[in-house]
A = this chain, B = another copy of it.
Amino acid sequence: MDHFSSQLLERAVNALSDLPGVGRKTALRLALHILRQDRESVQTFASAILDFRNQVKYCKVCHNLSDTDVCEICSQPRRNRRLICVVENVQNVLAIENTQQYDGLYHVLGGIISPMDGIGPKDLEIDSLVERVSAGDVDEVIMALSPTMEGDTTCFYLSRRLEGLPIRLTTIARGVSVGDELEYADELTLGRSIVNRVSFHQSSN
């Protein structure tokens, strides 16, 4: 245990070392960094965290993080509202938004089916997805889940729940990463990318 001569320092280090991936030494380094900042900056830092924790909401439609009841993405009129992309979490929304290749809406499940971690369909926003799609006005549901065992299980479960609804159900393409050397791609990925080959003229956009 550390022998701090200042309770204030000790409390700050304890608080910072509660953050994931931050050990005692890093926490001390962060605390001393904070001490070098002017008071207004530290106040802004603390307010940003408190406001985020106390005021952020989950969008009533897609369950993405939002400042308002319905999030910015769901509210944008230029978005294609007939297209829903199902993702595991908020980070995935951000990752897809950053590609600037998608103009539809999202549906954030808030996790992935994982019996090992005790996460079943009831723990996720699956009922609300089925409801949303059943209400009509949706042409396609894209399942953008990680190509893992849990992701595949969730895709399979979703496909069962959405069966019979008049929509096109798709998953994002799995294949060799852009810029990857073919010889280093794993067999499963390479195999899938051959089976799911696309027309050359279609692939280049």
Contact = CB atoms under 8 A, between A and B. Distances in A.
Contact of A8 (B8, B14, B52, B91): B52
A32 B65 CA distance: 10
Contact of A52 (B12, B64, B71, B93): B12
A204 interface: no
Nearest to A43: B50
Contact of A3 (B8, B20, B26, B98): B98
A67 interface: yes
Contacts of A48: 11-12, 14-15
Given A3-B97, A66-B6, A94-B2, A52 B33 contact: no
Which size class do A's interface residues fall under? 35 or more
A90 interface: yes
Given A6-B56, A52-B8, A97-B5, A33 B46 contact: no
Complex A-B, nearest 8 residue pairs according to Cβ-Cβ distance, in ascending order: A12-B52, A15-B48, A3-B97, A46-B46, A5-B72, A42-B53, A11-B48, A8-B56
